[in-house]
Homo-oligomer: A and B are copies of this chain.
Amino acid sequence: MDMHSTDTGISSPQPREEEETPWLSAKEQQFWRAHLEVARLLDYQLGRELQPHNLASNDYEILVVLSESPERRMRMTDLATATLQSKSRLSHQITRMENAGLVLRQDCPGDRRGLYAHLTELGWETMQKVAPDHVRSVRHHFIDRLTPEQIDAMYAALAPIADHLRALRGRA
């Protein structure tokens, strides 16, 4: 147990609580920190490499989700769920993307459950133009730095955790 060196604040700050709190071991801590760093730094780097396309990384995700939806549209509430965002934050983002001509917000006649976000033709073209660069970024900074065996092993480890967390989130 490493009680002193940590960036993650989950080694023991108070020895008197040691008995009851299941502090992380040094190895666990090291791993947890590496996981957090990779998740954040990768998000940052991929976002940076989308900037020349005038897209934020959240924007790209919206384009992808809409392009894969029937009629290239989705109810705003479902889009918030799919992208793990709050409705208010998504609303701001869609406004920005609407101003850029990538999506369009529209009522659905006969559906009282509200507003849809539609992918525009420009949004569709943008996604197709950006995707090859994006996959190169994902490969260069992540996938190609792992062996096929590491990818298999990590997928086997992460998939049940994703299922657990998705169920908690209420989207199981």
Cross-chain contact B165 with A37 (CB below 8 angstroms) = yes
Copies of this polypeptide in the complex: 2
Tell me which residues from 116 to 172 in chain A have a Cβ below 8 Å from any Cβ of chain B: 127-128, 131-132, 134-136, 138-139, 141-143, 145-146, 148, 150-155, 157-162, 164-166, 168-169
Chain B residues within 8 Å of A44, by CB: 84, 165, 169
Instruction: Knowing A32-B143, A42-B165, A135-B10 are in contact, say whether A152-B27 is a contact too (CB < 8 A).
Output: yes
Q: Is A63 an interface residue (CB 8 A)?
A: yes
Q: Is A71 an interface residue (CB 8 A)?
A: no
Chain A interface SS verdict (over half): helix
Chain B residues within 8 Å of A132, by CB: 17, 20-21
Q: Is A40 an interface residue (CB 8 A)?
A: yes
Q: Is A52 an interface residue (CB 8 A)?
A: no
Q: Is A110 an interface residue (CB 8 A)?
A: no
Q: Which 10 A-B pairs have the closest CB atoms?
A: A9-B64, A41-B165, A39-B39, A21-B132, A10-B135, A31-B155, A34-B158, A37-B162, A150-B157, A13-B128
